[in-house]
Structure 1
């Protein structure tokens, strides 16, 4: 049977499992907010551990926090940063919109682990008190948005940007390798003029690089931190040096240019920079969605579709149709891209819904942002490894489409005029003959002229010669 100990908070006594490091407020949250299966993201544990460590150091520097408390708090924070005690953070996303209970979860775990190290009883709050010491110079109202910024910046830098850049590089290598392969382009889902496979794929790589640049630029808006604003942004219960000292320490711990925000009222009342970052994720999701579906379309077949691409055969595609293989990596990327775009809707609405001095949609916003970060990273990595790197061309099918194309007629228009060229194209389609046969039958040009004008490789760039 589970054994319990009694802990106390401002509302009185409550039983807590004896083997857990959390305390009364965490236990109350588990009771009153057992909603859904989504837990607070582990990235927020790391972010809060940095905040608590930086705050302890700033408070010790001002001599408000004793050496014993400082040493114990920083020791426990280092354990959290090493990934220890993760099971002691069980709270659901759907809690108070300020994230207060998660802040207290962190405070209580640090306090009780400090008690363990010091040899005092769990729940005794001696020698480290969760509020008086761990939460000194802080409020949930400034620590939670600060943690949101830290987690979003670290996740973007560690996961999103490297994965997107690696995918872009892999696609660019394919584009370079296929630079000289001519194919038929398509607009409105109909045959168009030629381009090279390399040109088609280089567009994918460029889209990804430009989307990554927009994401990277948005990250800069998260560097100003709310820490030090405490309850509303005034900085009540802090000393004058606390905010700058603690935020500088966070910059050192993370390796990112975090600073003390100059207007903490804005940082606590709204989360506009996070909304902007999420918006760049939405844009990136749109890029991934298009690339996934373009490749899915180009590979459709293998006998009754475009079939220009041979995708890696990773797993059987049907439980009833033997031999069928499906573009599953493209499907997965397209689905997660839609999820990322949908997440941005929630983030945007959450960001717009703050009232007066505080936004109370914080857990919703950071949960969706961190899920998007994870989905983008995992999706790009899998798409690169299991689809892009193993994709090959169906060169024979691509050449057949070029040979049979009627839209090469576009190259004749500068010489014989649009109307005459249009008539040749329609004649070729009506008679089901080649473009060359229809052109020569028109009497508008000789075979030598046709061969000079209709050279697919010469149509991949500006091709009009002015004498």
Structure 2
């Protein structure tokens, strides 16, 4: 049996693997774009399949396709969305800038499967045509950005945001748990006035909550779909009701509140929604990297570091130093954050390429944006489950650091004057005394006044003592 079959397209004949559902257009793209080995994600193929499902249903309801043909296309497209044919999506993400190769990959696979469902030969293009039937009322130029937005909003709503909310809640819980643990504050990595570990963690929780708010704020633009604009935004070759009906169908299929783009020309030319989402992700990454680094610093030790908190041990840390345990989860989060920040640069540069009527870097935008949303969600969930929930406070060490901090002289300055406080600070530093010792031995304050001033808990509540 031959291992290939001959397929024909507008250029001519091309040999295609005999058992492949894709056809000539996809095979040409596969041969041309051998760049990275990267393929579109499961979520993107799901979204593209659903766009084709919605299109088939609408074309049937408009009387543009016979019922049996439309139903076969719909069923085949649904199988694509469900992952049955993922192995058939063989085109590299580095391809034609519109994403035509991947759109045609979908069209050809759906057409071949629909032929089977109709009892026809898989290669019978006349029975179900990838362009005339599967791609009816569509252009890659509106289908691809529509699939991108469907996939990205689904990722944001059902993966990234839930994981971020779990992380925020875990940090809030720790802030409550550590509310009475007094420790030294640190600014410029130097001793500062006291703070509670709970207050410190409340700041971390707020970083995450602000990140959630940023991610939530970009959903409206991501919900706008370009479908119906066809090649340049005019809707040429599409039924005038096609775009809105597909949007309505996609709302039913996904449960997400999509709308039709207010201006189809902008929806094809610009990828500002993707750039905006990526910028929000990048901002979240900046905050998470600070959080992860703080966890590493606070847990440093166990003997020669701060050792104010203890992170859960997830694995041995060294191949040469027995017993060593490293903060591997925060380190992994840091690497994810670095990737997200780099991805944002890629998406920004790609977003600049909206020349005239079409952005021609859509595949890399789609791939990179979905990777970012997936990575952020995964990293947030890992940080929650493998690290934050298991953090324990070393309350005794925290308090010792707070009591040894020479920054406690700050609370004394309003009582004895800045210059006198600075003199006592220098004495304490030179003689390795605590602030309490320096005040009792060198100041005119009574022991009762010293005790009143050096009330650590009162200091963490702010105000003038």
The normalised TM-score by structure 1 is 0.97
CA deviations 1:446-467 (Å, max 9, x no partner) are 11111111100001123326xx
Residue in 2 aligned with 1:178? 178
Residue in 1 aligned with 2:369? 369
CA–CA distance in structure 1, aligned partners of residues 397 and 464 of structure 2: 29
Residue in 2 aligned with 1:157? 157
CA deviations 1:416-467 (Å, max 9, x no partner) are 22222222212111111121121123333111111111100001123326xx
CA deviations 1:326-362 (Å, max 9, x no partner) are 1111110001101001100000010012211111111
CA–CA distance in structure 2, aligned partners of residues 463 and 30 of structure 1: 68
CA–CA distance in structure 1, aligned partners of residues 392 and 18 of structure 2: 59
Is residue 2:421 matched to residue 1:421? yes
Q: Which runs of 5+ in 1 are unaligned?
A: none
Q: 1:400 offset after TM fit, Å?
A: 1.5
CA–CA distance in structure 1, aligned partners of residues 181 and 369 of structure 2: 40
Q: 1:25 offset after TM fit, Å?
A: 0.6
C-alpha contact 1:49 1:81 (8 A) present in aligned 2: yes
Residue in 2 aligned with 1:433? 433
Stretch deviating more after TM superposition (152-161 or 441-450): 441-450
Is residue 2:117 matched to residue 1:148? no
**3-state SS, counterpart of residue 262 of structure 1:** coil
Matches within 5 A, 1:448-467: 448-464=448-464
Is residue 2:389 matched to residue 1:389? yes
C-alpha contact 1:46 1:80 (8 A) present in aligned 2: yes
Matches within 5 A, 1:176-215: 176-215=176-215
Question: Which segments of structure 1 move beyond 4 Å, counting only runs of 4 or more?
Answer: none
CA–CA distance in structure 1, aligned partners of residues 164 and 444 of structure 2: 51
**3-state SS, counterpart of residue 358 of structure 2:** coil
Q: Which runs of 5+ in 2 are unaligned?
A: none
CA–CA distance in structure 1, aligned partners of residues 463 and 225 of structure 2: 55
Residue in 1 aligned with 2:94? 94
C-alpha contact 1:120 1:126 (8 A) present in aligned 2: no
CA deviations 1:218-268 (Å, max 9, x no partner) are 121111111000000000001111111111111221212211112111110
Structure 1's 2 and 459: CA in aligned 2 closer, same or farther, altered over 3 A?
A: farther
C-alpha contact 2:57 2:71 (8 A) present in aligned 1: no
C-alpha contact 1:115 1:126 (8 A) present in aligned 2: no
CA–CA distance in structure 1, aligned partners of residues 444 and 255 of structure 2: 69
Is residue 2:299 matched to residue 1:299? yes
CA deviations 1:123-145 (Å, max 9, x no partner) are 21243211011100000011001
C-alpha contact 1:354 1:360 (8 A) present in aligned 2: yes
Residue in 1 aligned with 2:275? 275
Residue in 2 aligned with 1:112? 112
CA–CA distance in structure 2, aligned partners of residues 437 and 303 of structure 1: 25
**3-state SS, counterpart of residue 161 of structure 1:** helix
Stretch deviating more after TM superposition (337-346 or 434-443): 434-443
Residue in 2 aligned with 1:19? 19
Residue in 2 aligned with 1:133? 133
Structure 1's 2 and 285: CA in aligned 2 closer, same or farther, altered over 3 A?
A: farther
Q: 1:101 offset after TM fit, Å?
A: 0.6
Residue in 1 aligned with 2:79? 79
CA–CA distance in structure 1, aligned partners of residues 424 and 386 of structure 2: 45
**3-state SS, counterpart of residue 320 of structure 1:** coil
CA–CA distance in structure 1, aligned partners of residues 458 and 281 of structure 2: 39
Q: 1:2 offset after TM fit, Å?
A: 6.4
CA–CA distance in structure 2, aligned partners of residues 354 and 78 of structure 1: 31
Matches within 5 A, 1:325-336: 325-336=325-336
Residue in 2 aligned with 1:238? 238
C-alpha contact 2:292 2:330 (8 A) present in aligned 1: yes
Stretch deviating more after TM superposition (289-298 or 423-432): 423-432
**3-state SS, counterpart of residue 354 of structure 2:** coil
**3-state SS, counterpart of residue 195 of structure 1:** strand
Q: 1:17 offset after TM fit, Å?
A: 1.1
Residue in 2 aligned with 1:45? 45
**3-state SS, counterpart of residue 74 of structure 1:** helix
CA–CA distance in structure 2, aligned partners of residues 434 and 459 of structure 1: 17
Number of residues paired by the alignment?
Answer: 465
CA–CA distance in structure 1, aligned partners of residues 220 and 259 of structure 2: 11
**3-state SS, counterpart of residue 193 of structure 1:** strand
Structure 1's 390 and 138: CA in aligned 2 closer, same or farther, altered over 3 A?
A: same
Q: 1:318 offset after TM fit, Å?
A: 1.1
Residue in 2 aligned with 1:247? 247
CA–CA distance in structure 1, aligned partners of residues 2 and 434 of structure 2: 82
CA–CA distance in structure 1, aligned partners of residues 123 and 446 of structure 2: 96
C-alpha contact 2:350 2:361 (8 A) present in aligned 1: yes
CA–CA distance in structure 1, aligned partners of residues 294 and 370 of structure 2: 27
CA–CA distance in structure 1, aligned partners of residues 463 and 226 of structure 2: 58
The normalised TM-score by structure 2 is 0.98
**3-state SS, counterpart of residue 7 of structure 2:** strand
Residue in 2 aligned with 1:63? 63
